[in-house]
Amino acid sequence: MVNNSGLKPQRTSQVPHTLPAFSAQDALVALMVTVSISDETIKTSELVSIERQVNHLPVFSNYDMDAVREVAQTVYKLMEEEDGLDTLFAMVRAALPERLYETAYALACDVAVADARLGQSELRLLEEIREELTIDRLHAAAIERGARARHMLG
């Protein structure tokens, strides 16, 4: 089944480590979860940001909110492995069409700034995501500035 955005929401194949392969939407969620846990503290504001994105963005139409928990568990398992981040990036690249790379980076930035502060671990991870998804530096700066503006404290 293909939804309005042309993405297949079901996960059918397997990848190494017996982890389920991601759908494109799963890959977006996985990056958001990874950013959330990058500072070893999952904040409520970050979880709310993930939930809000999944509930409201067109790219997640027809996405089962219950899948977020499964994706999060996969991310947690991966982050326990020595090469887990590399495996995660490989899974994301395999699932995510290039046209959604900037969307993925924007969602990651929104989660990173959801608590109105960025730690070094989040900044490093955003840099790695930018490199893995080959986001142009000027595009990345615009995306980052937009995320800061949306989450600015009054």
- 145: burial class by Cβ within 10 Å (0-12, 13-18, 19+)? exposed
Number of domains in the chain: 1
Residue-range definition of the domain harbouring residue 62: 21-150
Residue 142 lies in a domain: yes
Predicted confidence (pLDDT) per residue in 39-78, tens digit:
877 888 888 889 999 999 999 999 999 999 999 999 999 9
What CATH number is attached to the domain comprising 100? Answer: 1.10.3680
Mean pLDDT check: name the lowest of 13-17, 26-30, 125-129: 13-17
* 48 in a structural domain: yes
Does the residue 68 lie in any domain? yes
The answer as to whether 16 is a domain residue is no
**DSSP summary character for residue 18:** G
Q: Is residue 5 assigned to a domain?
A: no
Residue 7 lies in a domain: no
Q: Does residue 13 surpass a pLDDT of 60? A: no
What token pair was written down for 65?
């909110």
Q: Evaluate whether 102 touches 20 at the Cβ level (below 8 Å).
A: no
Domain membership flag for residue 13? no
Mean pLDDT along residues 125-151: 93
User: Is 33 a member of any domain?
Assistant: yes
Contact status, residue 126 vs residue 85, Cβ threshold 8 Å: no
Residue type, 111: V
pTM for this one? Answer: 0.84
pLDDT at 27 over 60: yes
Q: Is the pLDDT score of 3 beyond 70?
A: no
